[in-house]
A and B are shown apart, each in its own frame.
Chain A
Amino acid sequence: MTVKPTSWIGASVERLEDKPLVTGRGRFAGDVSFPHQLHMRMVRSSYAHGRLKAIDVTEARAVPGVVAVWTADDIADLPPIDFREGPNEKLAPFRQSVLAKDVVRYAGEPVAAVFATDPYVAEDAAELVTMDVDELDAVIDASLPASEFAAGLTTEPTICRQGYGDIAAAFKGAAAIVEMDLSVGRHSGVPLETRGAIGRYDAARDVLELHGAAKVPHKNRESLARMFGRSTAGVHLYEGHVGGGFGVRGEIYPEDVLVLVAAMRLGRPVKWLEDRREHMIAANHSRQQRHCIRAAVDAEGRLIGIDDDFFHDQGAYIRTHGTRVADTACGILPGPYRLPHYRVNAHFRLTNKTPAATYRSPGRYETNFVRERLMDAIARKLGLSRIEVRRRNLISPDEMPYERPLVALGDEVVLDSGDYEGLLNKALERCQWDRLEREVAERRKAGEYVGLGLAMYVEKSGLGPTDGARVNVHTNGEVEVITGGASVGQGFETVIAQVCAETLGVDYKRVRVIHGRTDRIEYGIGAHATRATVMTANATAVAAGKVRVKALDMAAQLLQTDAGQLTIVNGSVMRTDGAGASIDLGDLAHHLRPVSPTRGERDPGLAAEGWFTTAHMTYPYGVQIALVRIDPSTGGVDIEKMLIAFDVGRSINPMLVRGQLVGGFVQGLGGALFEEFQYDERGQPLSVTFADYLMPTAHEVPEVDILVTEDAPSSCNPLGIKGAGEGGVAAVGAVIASAVDDALGGKGLITQIPITPQAVKAMIDGQRK
């Protein structure tokens, strides 16, 4: 009989992290408190743009319980918040100062900070701070000609350019040219848990601590240490539970800096919790772009070239991400199609709105919408079906890996593997596209406004370069994985435990995953850009593999067997044929203690560190299909069917992959039909509550059919993994737009998202006239 270890990779096991969460014993930023802490309240500009002539804090300071009120003058020694990837001279003048000085540039910009013994007192006092502001004209539309940001600087800090080939020749030789003006609305991650930060200075150890950190604790530690002139050894970040990350949480914002500086200067821990209204005007916005795009195609509908000028509405300042979203948009726009010539100019524009940065699937949600609208338009222009025009342009599996002379997230674009047409076929079959098309045609004849939409896309994941993990087996057999990854609630601990369990041969429930503590591991990439599973899991597999070798070696000595005949099953080392004695990993750890005489020449500890380095990102891909019905009298859109087909290379936990895809879909639906940060012409934010900023609820979300395939494992990493975190959201704007457009007769009327009932109704009325 040969013994067979349990297979953990690919199993839909339940999440390790759920117990404290579902029993209300999690530890979110709001749950973190320290004795004698102060509470911070921000005073924010109510003007979108103006000269800040004076701030009066005397009344606020006099309120009993108020310990300090700071304005820019009180922290004049602090530099503006820098870019995560390091200094950038060209963009530096556009960074946000911790507190506004001389000029305010968006409604919501921090102008002063109140520190008090009680959060109510802090809020009462904050109301008493007054400011004298000369209002200036607000820039609301990023596509108008650039104006002045400050003396000698315009509101266009840079133009991100990418491209290759000869775009002029491409258009000269075209059989047809399709031109569109397409806009994506301003929306962003609006997690259930708003942001929070608790700063504490531990004088005994001379360590500055930030609690409530998320996403990229190690990178942020470096930035903060630089900002304060401290060594990284004197700054530590602690990640707790996270009620949704989505890109907005875990960046360094003015509030994070303030709680730390105040903790040092006021000598007491300082706690700040963002309220919902603040979140809507203070946390990063995202997505808003307007693309003026043209495609040159040959007579068969094959792309010859794409020429795109787009306006990226960055908001008032350039925050930690620099120009990353616009850059990514440029690099990823061509998607799954062959594109011989390409030119894109991203006009990176500042406006008087909340600064923007990444939101789940940044640069892709926008460009998938733009490119897929364009593909539908090409089909229409040439009288081809929307499927056929895509088939003719898809990159085929034998062209993989497919190099593109483009850059996304600072990484050369090399599509590592994929069978795009294969997935298209599977998706069409799964939803019975042909039958749906017939049904739609019949229902239309009967007067209904129904439509089918389709979108294809390439996602990116696993941004490198490197991540590490340490696996340590305790003498009781429990396994600890200490990683530089981070959890934003996505099931990180579970998948890392699964990979460790599979490699090592233990039950995944015996694995404890430690993350988000800069004091336990020196280096880490955190959780962003759908990289945690790809990078950290592979590093974990390397570390666990080393531990396995060491365990077998030690066991071979103790069991007097050749290591090659041994395996590990459920935490016990035994012979592969099941014969003879076995020994538990815990016992082996005991034999490997520093003082153990049996250890021999081996290094102490049943532990090892593993590193994984990748040359490139890995590219999962998907197909989304939607069937919608419009109520022509109200303009309301009802989604009758929704399919997401997605290839993840290799799925470690299919249940979690589905969860990621469905959750992402809901956020994508928000951007397609509901969510938008609106402003009036003076730059006043109009979407500051959940009554004005409409998130989809369970009522608005249709049943989503999910097809996860593993046809194209990544060639970039030994486990073959691609990320799933952003695949659900990436093409929802594209597919819903395609379906609504089809329901309106397939004329290319839908050129912007979100699609509101008011707009749809106006289009229907316009057609009737």
Chain B
Amino acid sequence: MKPASFSYHVPTSVDEAVALLAELGPQDGRILAGGQSLVPTMAFRMARPTHLIDINGIAELARLTAGGGIVTVGACVRHAAFDSGTLPGATGALLRKVVQNIAHYPIRTRGTFCGSVANADPASEWCCVMAALDGVAVLRSQRGTRRVPAAEFYQGVMATALDEDELLVAAELPMLADDTRTGFVEFSRRKGDFAIAMALVAYRLEGGVIVEPRVAIGGAEPHARRIAEAEDVLSGQAPGAAAFVAAAEAASAAVDPMEDINNTAAYRRGLVRTLTQRALESAE
């Protein structure tokens, strides 16, 4: 469990980083952010990048800002930034709820939001947030800047629209209206593990009925996504058991769950129902 040899680069600006990426990306150069996914896979030699471009020294990437209706999460913002709760409004409250489910605190102090987004693990909570809130991945290369919405960014299990010369400089999350209720529930065998399934919901009430419903499911399919069928069920209904049960049913019918040696598709489908219902019931 010792990584194969690699060259190590420490750019101090985004321009320098993308210049390095342009040159080294095609030679299997990789970005090193928090290292909490990449370094273990290197130790197993499942990943063996020939070059590591460490972005931790780039000050401009460490910014977390909220303004103009958008939360912008720079590439070096750690998971733990959301533990402390400086972000305002319903979006801040949601991210505080979600972050408790990511790994354990020491890992959260190193791992980054954007690293999770780029890594695109099916069970990444931040990927589920990106999907639910229609986040945008901001990709920079020497060729320019692309802004890719979550629905197009995620393409499969750990597969994204990132090109090898592109740096994910930030993730942008459109802010939820202040009166949005949000809920997040996941299930894993132990606390801190990658979840077997998760559900994130958000909605507002207008005249006593649900408007702007969002239901996203992660962990169950190759990548997290919004489930329109469940959202349609909620739209225009009064919040309560009847609507929640129906939406949960719709979500579980709509997903096409992955299987592994411990989890059958049926088990995951059942979890999607339970978790969606619980996320709706706990939304506040």
A interface residues, Cβ below 8 angstroms from B: 119-120, 123-124, 127, 275-277, 633-636, 674, 678, 680, 686, 689, 691, 694, 696-697, 699-700, 756-758, 761-762, 765
Contact = CB atoms under 8 A, between A and B. Distances in A.
B259 to A, nearest CB: 11
A146 to B, nearest CB: 26
B44 interface: yes
The B contact surface, by secondary structure, is loop
Given A680-B261, A761-B270, A694 B191 contact: no
B261 A634 contact: no
The residue in B187, B191, B262 that gathers the most chain A C-beta atoms within 10 A of its C-beta is: B262
A697 B2 contact: no
A691 B193 contact: yes
Contacts of A696: 190
Interface in B190-206: 190-194
Contacts of B264: 758
B8 interface: no
Interface string B96-112: 00000000000000000
Interface string B1-33: 110110000000000000000000000000000
Nearest to B263: A758
The A contact surface, by secondary structure, is loop
A506 to B, nearest CB: 44
A276 B1 CA distance: 8
Contacts of B189: 636, 674, 694, 756-757
B267 A758 contact: yes
B124 interface: no
A766 to B, nearest CB: 12
A124 B45 CA distance: 10
A120 B2 contact: yes
A277 B44 contact: yes
Interface residues of B, number: 23
B111 to A, nearest CB: 15
B180 interface: no
B247 to A, nearest CB: 16
A756 B190 contact: no
Given A694-B189, A699-B191, A756 B2 contact: no
Interface string B140-151: 000000000000
A634 B2 contact: no
B187 A636 contact: yes
A697 B271 CA distance: 23
B191 A697 contact: yes
B135 to A, nearest CB: 26
20 contacts: A120-B5, A124-B4, A276-B1, A277-B1, A634-B271, A635-B267, A636-B189, A674-B189, A674-B190, A678-B262, A680-B261, A689-B44, A691-B193, A691-B194, A694-B189, A699-B191, A700-B190, A758-B264, A761-B270, A765-B270
Contact of B274 (A119, A634, A686): A634
Given A633-B274, A674-B189, A124 B5 contact: yes
> Lowest 4 A-B CB distances belong to which pairs?
A699-B191, A275-B1, A633-B274, A123-B2
Contacts of A276: 1
A275 B2 CA distance: 9
A125 to B, nearest CB: 12
A11 B167 CA distance: 62
A694 B270 contact: no
A628 to B, nearest CB: 15
Interface string B173-194: 0000000000000010111111
A678 B261 contact: yes
Nearest to A634: B187
A626 to B, nearest CB: 18
Contacts of A633: 270-271, 273-274
A276 B267 CA distance: 30
A681 to B, nearest CB: 10
Contacts of A634: 187, 271, 274
A178 B61 CA distance: 68
Given A124-B5, A686-B261, A697-B191, 11 more contacts: A124-B4, A633-B270, A633-B274, A635-B267, A636-B187, A689-B40, A691-B193, A694-B190, A699-B190, A758-B262, A758-B267
A680 B262 CA distance: 12
Contacts of B267: 635, 758, 761-762
